[in-house]
Structure 1
Amino acid sequence: MSVPFGAFVAREHAAGRLVVQPRMGFPAPDVMRDGLRRTRDAAATTVGTLTLDSYTRVGDLVTAARALADGAPLNGFPLVTHGPEVTREVLAGVLGPDFPVQVRHGSAAPRDIVATLVAAGLDATEGGPVSYCLPYSRTPLRTAVRHWADACARLAAASGTAHLETFGGCMLGQLCPPGLLVAISVLEAIFFAQHGLRSVSLSYAQQTDPAQDEEAVRALRLLAARYLPGVEWHVVVYAYMGVYPRTPAGAARLLTSAARLAVRSGAARLIVKTAAEAHRIPTVAENVDALELAARVAAGTPAGTGTEDTGIHAEATALVEAVLDLDDDLAGALPTAFARGLLDVPYCLHPDNAGRARSYLDAGGRLQWADTGGLPIGPPSRAARPHRTGSAGLLAALSHVERKFDTPPPGRAGA
Structure 2
Amino acid sequence: MSGFGARVAEAHRLGQLVVQPRMGMSDPAVMRAGLLATRAAAATTVGTITLDSYTRVGDHAGARAALESGAALNGYPITAHEPATTRRVLAGTASDGFPVQVRHGSAVPEEIVATVIRAGLHATEGGPISYCLPYSRVPVQNSVRSWARCCEQLAALRSTGVEPHLESFGGCMMGQLCPPSLLVAISVLEGLFFRGHGLRSISLSYAQQTSPEQDREAVLALRTLAAELIGDLDLHVVIYTYMGVYPKTPGGATGLLADAARLAVRTGAARLIVKTVAEAHRIPTIAENVAALEAAALAAAGCVPDAVPAPDTGIYAEARALVEAVLNLRADIGHALADAFRLGYLDVPFCLHPDNAGVARSYLDTDGWLRWSRTGSMPLPPERRPGAAGELTAAGLLASLSFVERTYDEAAIEGCLTGAAGETKGANQR
TM-score when normalising by structure 1 = 0.97
Distance 1:352 1:84 in 2: 35
Q: Is the 8 A contact 1:3 1:98 kept in 2?
A: no
Alpha-carbon separation, structure 1, partners of 2:383 and 2:366? 16
Q: Find the counterpart in structure 2 of residue 6 from structure 1.
A: 5
Q: Tell me which of 349, 353, 356 is aligned to 1:353.
A: 356
Map of 1:39-118 to 2, 5 A cutoff?
39-118=38-117
- CA contact 1:3–1:96 (8 Å) conserved in 2: no
CA distance in 2 between partners of 1:65 and 1:364 (Å): 49
Tell me whether 1:221 sits opposite 2:223 in the alignment.
yes
1:188 corresponds to which of 176, 187, 190? 190
Q: How does 1:149-298 map to 2 (within 5 A)?
A: 149-159=148-158, 161-298=163-300
Mapped to 1, the partners of 2:147 and 2:135 lie a distance apart of 15
The gaps in structure 2 that reach 5 residues or longer are 420-430
State the identity as a percent: 63
Could you tell me whether the CA contact under 8 Å between 1:369 and 1:380 is conserved in 2?
A: no
Counterpart selection for 1:322 from 315, 321, 325: 325
Residue of 390, 414, 417 corresponding to 1:413: 417
Report if aligned partners of 2:42, 2:294 keep a CA contact under 8 Å in 1.
Answer: yes
* DSSP-derived class of the 2:129 partner: coil
1:411 shift after superposition: 5.1
Shift of 1:307: 1.2
| Cα separation, partners in 2 of 1:312 and 1:71, compared to 1, 3 Å | same
Q: Which residue matches 1:341?
A: 344
Task: Give the AA of the match of 2:140.
Answer: L
Q: 1:177 touches 1:368 (CA, 8 Å); kept in 2?
A: yes
Is 1:301 the equivalent of 2:303? yes
Paired amino acid for 1:153: E
| Cα separation, partners in 2 of 1:381 and 1:149, compared to 1, 3 Å | closer
Tell me the distance in 1 between the aligned counterparts of 2:60 and 2:310.
47
- Is the contact made by 2:374 and 2:387 (CA closer than 8 Å) also made in structure 1? no
Give the aligned partner of residue 133 of structure 1: 132
Alpha-carbon shift at residue 386 of structure 1 (Å):
2.2
Q: Which stretch shows the higher mean deviation, 379-388 or 12-21?
A: 379-388
Distance 2:352 2:344 in 1: 14
Which residue identity lines up with residue 194 of structure 1 in the other structure? G
Give the secondary structure class of the aligned counterpart of 1:82. Answer: coil
Name 1:146's counterpart in structure 2: 145
1:3-59 residue CA offsets vs partner (Å, 9 max, x unmatched): 410000001001100000000100000000000000000000000000000000001
Task: Please state how far the C-alpha of 1:97 moved relative to its aligned partner.
Answer: 2.7
**Counterparts of 2:139 and 2:353, CA distance in 1:** 9
> For residues 62 and 246 of structure 2, what CA distance do their matches in structure 1 show?
30
1:273-306 Cα distance to aligned partner (Å, 9 max, x none): 0000001100000000000000011011111132
Q: Please report how far the alpha carbon of residue 329 of structure 1 lies from its aligned counterpart in structure 2 after TM superposition.
A: 1.2
Report deviation, 1:228: 1.2
Name the amino acid aligned to 1:14: R
Q: Check the 8 A contact 1:49/1:102 in 2, yes or no.
A: yes
The residue number in structure 2 matching 1:377 is 380
CA RMSD of aligned residues (A): 1.5
Distance 1:386 1:66 in 2: 52
Do the aligned partners of residues 384 and 301 (structure 1) sit closer, same or farther apart at CA in structure 2, a change above 3 Å counting?
farther
Provide the C-alpha distance between the structure 1 equivalents of 2:39 and 2:111, rounded to a whole number of angstroms.
27
- Is the 1:174–1:241 Cα contact (8 Å) retained in structure 2? yes
Q: Which amino acid aligns with 1:370?
A: S
How many correspondences in the alignment? 414
Q: Mark the runs of 5 or more structure 1 residues left unpaired by the alignment.
A: none
> Deviation string for 1:108-155 (max 9, x for gaps)?
010111001111111000000000000000000000000000000100
Q: Residue 202 of structure 1: SS of its match in structure 2? A: strand
Q: For 2:385 and 2:187, how far apart are their aligned partners in 1?
A: 29
Q: Does 1:312 align with 2:315?
A: yes
Shift of 1:229: 2.3
Q: What's the CA shift for 1:378?
A: 4.3
Q: Distance in 1 between matches of 2:47 and 2:236?
A: 17
Q: Is the 8 A contact 1:370 1:380 kept in 2?
A: no
Q: Which amino acid aligns with 1:226?
A: E
d(CA) in 1 for partners of 2:131 and 2:69?
A: 29
Partner of residue 427, structure 2: none
Flag the 1:411–1:232 CA change in 2: closer, same or farther, 3 A: closer
Q: What per-residue deviation string (whole Å, max 9, x for no partner) do you get for residues 148-205 of structure 1? A: 0000010001235100000000000100000000000000000000001010000000
SS of structure 2 residue aligned to 1:208: coil
Residue 34 of structure 1 aligns with which residue? 33
Report if aligned partners of 1:174, 1:398 keep a CA contact under 8 Å in 2: yes
Does the 8 Å CA contact 2:171/2:205 hold for their aligned counterparts?
A: yes
Residues 51, 356 of structure 1: alpha-carbon distance in 2 compared, 3 angstrom cutoff = same
* Equivalent residue letter for 2:171: G
AA matched with 2:39: R
TM-score normalized with structure 2 length: 0.94
Secondary structure of 1:317's counterpart equals helix
Instruction: Give the deviation of 1:361 after TM superposition.
Output: 0.2
Structure 1 residues 390 and 41, CA gap change in structure 2 (3 angstroms): same
